[in-house]
Amino acid sequence: MKNIMIENASLEELVIQIEEIVRQAIETCNLPTQNDSDRVLTRTETSELLQVSLVTLYKWNKLGVLPAFSVGTRVYYKWNDVQNAMKRVA
């Protein structure tokens, strides 16, 4: 890590140096990016996207048309599964 002398630096110079250090730190983090394939949708998001009711989503899940998975009491749909279901219908 660099040491910065702020004794004779103006506020603007200090801000520029801090911004550069933060930018470099962020670039070296290599945070994973989320693909659309990893994305999950809530029941509400899925129903709005497909323009169907929550009851229809429930029925499609029971019939195997659109698989869902639960985390606790919440129900989610995988983006890929939603896309595949739309392709089958189209």
Local confidence pLDDT in tens for the 90 residues of the chain: 566 556 777 878 878 888 787 777 766 765 555 566 678 999 999 998 888 899 999 999 999 889 999 999 999 999 988 888 777 665
Domain hosting 19: range is: 1-31
User: Do residue 13 and residue 51 come from a single domain?
Assistant: no
d(CA 49, CA 42): 10
3-state secondary structure of 25: helix
d(CA 56, CA 54): 5
What is the model's pLDDT at position 20?
83
User: Do residue 43 and residue 67 come from a single domain?
Assistant: yes
User: Do residue 1 and residue 21 come from a single domain?
Assistant: yes
User: Do residue 24 and residue 57 come from a single domain?
Assistant: no
pTM for the full model? 0.58
User: Do residue 84 and residue 42 come from a single domain?
Assistant: yes
Number of domains, the chain: 2
